[in-house]
């Protein structure tokens, strides 16, 4: 089942499919040592959260939030990752599964985390998740494991994935490409469909479609190297 997760909804809730389901989702705007940290918590129901501690580093604040939400199924969205960490320091965010990637510099932080092997998934525009059932735990699981696409002005018609690759189709002609580790783009085509077959050396692949300022993208596939035997 496909369900739209309104992760940018103002207030302390995130509607799913227009309000058929609601996630508890407070936005934390903490002042940490030398910088600001923005995090949105997604949970099935309210859970106790730690208080802001202005004297600590952002990485310590993230660690405390991860500890508080462990075993609850809750997920953290790092808002504006560039502002709090930057590409050079993004390794300090290990454990956060979701990045808001609303700017190109945020995307660079995302690619840097992926290059380190961190399982991180990007959120931008409209999030359309594949869920097993209409229960908050299913939605949170889909987000935690990248079972969703993002549509920012461009609609995904279909996404097919298997162990050997993926095929992305969008609603209209666009520039499509695969983004590999480090943000390297390859396989550029113009059209509605991009079929990608894994070669075994990519480490990570995500598919992107662009039409002017409109974009759509899949979540990264983590690819194990091919083994050869003499």
- Residue 42, φ and ψ in degrees, nearest 5: -115, 125
The answer to whether residues 60 and 31 belong to one domain is yes
Task: Look at residue 229 and tell me if it is in a domain.
Answer: no
* Gap between the Cα atoms of 121 and 46, Å rounded: 23
- Residue after which a domain boundary falls, among 111, 144, 177: 144
The answer to whether residues 28 and 112 belong to one domain is yes
* Gap between the Cα atoms of 99 and 123, Å rounded: 6
Task: Look at residue 230 and tell me if it is in a domain.
Answer: no
- Residue after which a domain boundary falls, among 144, 172, 198: 144
The answer to whether residues 170 and 92 belong to one domain is no
* Gap between the Cα atoms of 194 and 209, Å rounded: 9
Task: Look at residue 207 and tell me if it is in a domain.
Answer: yes
The answer to whether residues 79 and 190 belong to one domain is no
Whose structure tokens read 């002017």?
212
Task: Look at residue 227 and tell me if it is in a domain.
Answer: no
Instruction: Considering only CA atoms, give the Rg of the chain.
Output: 18
Q: How many structural domains compose the chain? A: 2
What integer pLDDT is reported at residue 213 of this predicted model?
94
In which domain, by residue range, is 63 found? 2-144
The answer to whether residues 115 and 195 belong to one domain is no
Instruction: Determine if the pTM surpasses 0.85.
Output: yes
- Residue after which a domain boundary falls, among 122, 144, 166: 144
* Gap between the Cα atoms of 107 and 31, Å rounded: 23
What integer pLDDT is reported at residue 201 of this predicted model?
85
What integer pLDDT is reported at residue 226 of this predicted model?
57
pLDDT, one tens digit for every residue, the chain (230 residues): 999 999 999 999 999 998 889 999 999 999 998 899 999 999 999 999 999 999 999 999 999 999 999 999 999 999 999 999 999 999 999 999 999 999 999 999 999 999 999 999 999 999 999 999 999 999 999 999 999 999 999 999 999 999 889 999 999 999 999 999 989 999 999 999 999 999 888 899 999 999 999 999 999 999 876 555 54
Task: Look at residue 24 and tell me if it is in a domain.
Answer: yes
The answer to whether residues 24 and 42 belong to one domain is yes
The answer to whether residues 116 and 173 belong to one domain is no
Task: Look at residue 99 and tell me if it is in a domain.
Answer: yes
In order of 30, 31, 59, 124, the CA distances from 55 in angstroms are 11, 8, 12, 31
CATH number for the domain that contains residue 200: 2.60.40
């Amino acid at each position: 089942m496909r369900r739209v997760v309104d992760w940018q909804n103002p207030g302390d809730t995130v509607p799913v499919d227009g309000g058929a389901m609601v996630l508890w989702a407070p936005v934390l705007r903490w002042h940490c040592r030398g910088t600001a940290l923005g995090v949105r918590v997604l949970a099935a129901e309210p859970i106790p959260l730690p208080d802001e501690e202005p004297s600590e580093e952002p990485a310590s604040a993230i660690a405390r939030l991860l500890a508080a939400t462990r075993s609850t199924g809750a997920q953290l969205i790092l808002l504006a990752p560039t502002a709090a960490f930057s590409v050079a320091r993004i390794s300090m965010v290990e454990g956060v599964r979701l990045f808001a990637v609303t700017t190109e510099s945020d995307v660079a932080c995302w690619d840097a985390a992926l290059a380190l092997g961190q399982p991180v998934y990007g959120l931008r525009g409209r999030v359309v998740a594949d869920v097993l059932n209409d229960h908050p735990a299913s939605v949170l699981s889909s987000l935690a494991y990248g079972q969703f696409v993002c549509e920012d002005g461009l609609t995904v018609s279909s996404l097919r994935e298997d162990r050997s690759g993926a095929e992305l189709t969008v609603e209209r002609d666009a520039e499509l490409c695969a983004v590999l580790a480090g943000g390297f783009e390859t396989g550029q085509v113009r059209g509605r469909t991009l079929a990608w077959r894994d070669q075994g050396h990519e480490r990570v692949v995500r598919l992107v479609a662009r039409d002017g300022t409109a974009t759509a993208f899949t979540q990264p596939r983590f690819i194990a190297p091919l083994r050869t035997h003499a």
